Amino acid sequence: MKIEFYDTTLRDGAQSEDIAFSLNDKLRITEKLDEFGIHFIEGGWPGSNPKDLLYFKEVKRLMLKNAKIVAFSSTIKPNTRPEEDEILKAVFEADTEYVTIVGKSWDLHVRDALKVGFDTNLEMIEKTISYLKKHDKTVFFDAEHFFDGYKRNTPYANQVIRVAADAGADVVVLCDTNGGSMPFEIENIIKEVRKEIGTKLGIHTHNDSELGVANTLVAVNAGCRHVQGTINGYGERCGNANLCSIIPSLILKMGYEGIERDKLKHLRGLSLFVDEMANLMPDKHRPFVGESAFAHKGGIHVSAIRKNPETYEHIKPDTVGNIQRILVSDLSGESSIIQKAEEFNIDIAKDKKLAKDVLKKIKELEMYGYQFEGAEGSLELLIKKSIGIHKKYFDLIGFKVIVEKKEKNHPVSEATIMVRVDNTIEHTAALGKGPVNALDSALRKALYKFFPELKEMDLVDYKVRVLSTKDGTEAVTRVLIESSDGKHSWSTVGVSENIIEASWQALVDGIDYKLLIEEEKRKVKGGTIQ
């Protein structure tokens, strides 16, 4: 049985507190949603702002293969003829075949928000839909606050959707606008509604009780075949129902059709893309698509998934474009270390003592404050050093960092450094925007002539966390640095009571890691590594 998926990220999702999509953002998201196979994309509310109206003009230039663009609007104003209503004029200016009209179905809203009579509200709904149908539009009717309305005044809520259906609405969408309904309420009400109207039913839920996904799934189980939501659950207040959880649940677990299974492999990529367009950090703990969704930390867990991933994974990660990750920490066992070493192309399964020694070292370091879950570059180096397959590329003789500030000028940082590569000593200096930036620049400047490949490398992120309860200046700090060479990225860690020392450790590991992977590439090309 097929479900039609309706995405409202560009309208309802854009009402999220921290989101402000540009026109270009909206067009790029539209293309990605279309590629993924979403059936309907709600582009915005024409007439509410100039950007949305411009979107409907520009989106026509896109060569969409799957999705239909939908204009969102409301019913006409009371005592207004449809052909004279400015709201509908904007809808026609958007020039879409598909239109979503929102109307009030809760008597409280009719009385207190619209401040019109109940019959007037019904007339507004009927006239709006009939007029659009007369002009050959496909109409989705969003019965706003339907479930609250049904629970407070069942006859009137039913009357609203009957009027919409009789006026020609192609889909009647039942909305849990306040997001406060329980799954059993949603399911029972929809079963009763199906006795009232034969029109296709849709579901639109919000996440204020953290039940947006659950309420959507039970709605489908009760008979809804049109599903609305947003990518990553973005939306006003606590957000909308999250399509990144709804889609795989319906297709992989409940046996519905709607998105091709091969397309599901792009779900995580779609999630990350929308995060990027929204300029928001991805939530690593999102089900299905989050970085931690298939991450395993406990030793018992890791031991089990090495034998059979199904023991602790509800689906295969790659079906939604994700991967299994083994985290190494003070909760890890030998299985975690062995599995992690295998990811680095190192086989230590036969050397139990070595695995125990590595695990012991990791647990000792984590007692001090190190954390390798987000610093796999440092972890790989640690394992390879432990088994003797990593060499030191350079030795530090000494460095000095000076921060100078004069009057109202911005502070200036300068680092001088002396390193030894084989039997050659290099002494150099560099300026930076801060002491760590200066130290990083000076170190790489000193190493460029020995290792020119370091010119490809950039420091892209720098995080500091205070770990101890001592006074701030005496506290142990952990520094996490992310580096990239444009092709892939890696993270490294350092810990010390001195923030510069902690930064130095992470910087050195970052450079060591880059040199190590370049060395391994050369060995592969030379046929040394099979």
Ranges 167-171, 257-261, 325-329: which has the least confidence: 325-329
DSSP summary character for residue 210: S
| pLDDT band, very low/low/confident/very high, at 471 (cuts 50, 70, 90) | low
**Residue 335 in this model has a pLDDT that exceeds 80:** no
| pLDDT band, very low/low/confident/very high, at 328 (cuts 50, 70, 90) | low
| pLDDT band, very low/low/confident/very high, at 241 (cuts 50, 70, 90) | very high
C-alpha 157/C-alpha 175 separation (Å) is 12
To the nearest 10°, report the CA torsion of 284, 286, 291, 293: 130
**Residue 219 in this model has a pLDDT that exceeds 90:** yes
Q: Listing from the earlier edge strand, what are the strands of the sheet with 424-432?
A: 395-404, 412-421, 424-432
Residue 150's alpha-carbon distances to 87, 103, 154, 170, 224, in angstroms, are 27, 14, 4, 21, 17
For the residues 25-34, what does the mean pLDDT come to?
95
And the tokens for 478? 């952990």
Please, what is the average pLDDT of the chain? 89
Residues near 128 by Cβ (< 8 Å), separated by ≥ 6? 75, 76, 82, 88, 101, 103, 167
**Residue 231 in this model has a pLDDT that exceeds 50:** yes
C-alpha 152/C-alpha 512 separation (Å) is 66
pLDDT at 340: 66
The answer to whether 227 and 260 are in contact (CB under 8 A) is no
For the residues 327-338, what does the mean pLDDT come to?
58
Residues near 229 by Cβ (< 8 Å), separated by ≥ 6? 5, 6, 7, 8, 204, 205, 212, 216, 240, 241, 242, 243, 246
Pairwise pLDDT comparison (208 vs 369), residue with the higher score: 208
pLDDT at 184: 97
Within 10 angstroms of residue 405's Cβ, the number of other Cβ atoms is 10
**Residue 530 in this model has a pLDDT that exceeds 50:** no
Residues facing 100 on adjacent strands: 72, 140
C-alpha 17/C-alpha 236 separation (Å) is 7
Nearest to 462 by CA among 423, 499, 428: 499
pLDDT at 524: 65
The answer to whether 489 and 458 are in contact (CB under 8 A) is no
For the residues 402-414, what does the mean pLDDT come to?
84
Q: How many CA atoms lie within 13 A of 413 on its CB side?
A: 15
Domains assigned to the chain: 4-278 (3.20.20.70), 295-368 (no CATH), 394-450 (3.30.160), 454-530 (3.30.160.340)
C-alpha 464/C-alpha 176 separation (Å) is 42
pLDDT more than 70, % of the chain: 91
Ranges 88-97, 123-132, 257-266, 307-316: which has the least confidence: 307-316
C-alpha 332/C-alpha 383 separation (Å) is 14
**pTM for this one?**
0.71
Nearest to 441 by CA among 408, 465, 416, 476: 416
pLDDT at 529: 45
Residue 467, judged by CB atoms within 10 A of its CB (0-12, 13-18, 19+), counts as middle
| pLDDT band, very low/low/confident/very high, at 299 (cuts 50, 70, 90) | low
For the residues 282-304, what does the mean pLDDT come to?
83
Residue with tokens 């606590």: 238
C-alpha 36/C-alpha 30 separation (Å) is 10
Pairwise pLDDT comparison (408 vs 418), residue with the higher score: 418
Supply the DSSP string of 314-357, one letter for each residue. SS-GGGGT---EE--STT--HHHHHHHHHHTT---TT-HHHHHH
Given its phi and psi angles, is residue 184 left (phi above 0), alpha (psi -120 to 50 degrees) or beta? Answer: alpha
pLDDT at 473: 52
Residues facing 376 on adjacent strands: none
The answer to whether 67 and 31 are in contact (CB under 8 A) is no
Q: Residue 147: in which H helix or E strand, if any?
A: helix 146-152
Residue 331, judged by CB atoms within 10 A of its CB (0-12, 13-18, 19+), counts as middle
Q: Please report which residue ranges of 37-98 form alpha helices under DSSP H.
A: 50-58, 86-94
C-alpha 501/C-alpha 268 separation (Å) is 37
**Residue 20 in this model has a pLDDT that exceeds 70:** yes
C-alpha 149/C-alpha 109 separation (Å) is 9
**Residue 355 in this model has a pLDDT that exceeds 80:** no
Q: Classify 516 as helix, strand or coil.
A: helix
C-alpha 400/C-alpha 352 separation (Å) is 43
Residue with tokens 């928000």: 113
pLDDT at 523: 73
The answer to whether 478 and 371 are in contact (CB under 8 A) is yes
Pairwise pLDDT comparison (331 vs 327), residue with the higher score: 327
C-alpha 243/C-alpha 251 separation (Å) is 12
- Biggest CA-to-CA distance, the chain: 92
DSSP summary character for residue 15: G
pLDDT at 362: 74
C-alpha 316/C-alpha 320 separation (Å) is 8
For the residues 381-406, what does the mean pLDDT come to?
84
**Residue 81 in this model has a pLDDT that exceeds 70:** yes
And the tokens for 410? 């911005």
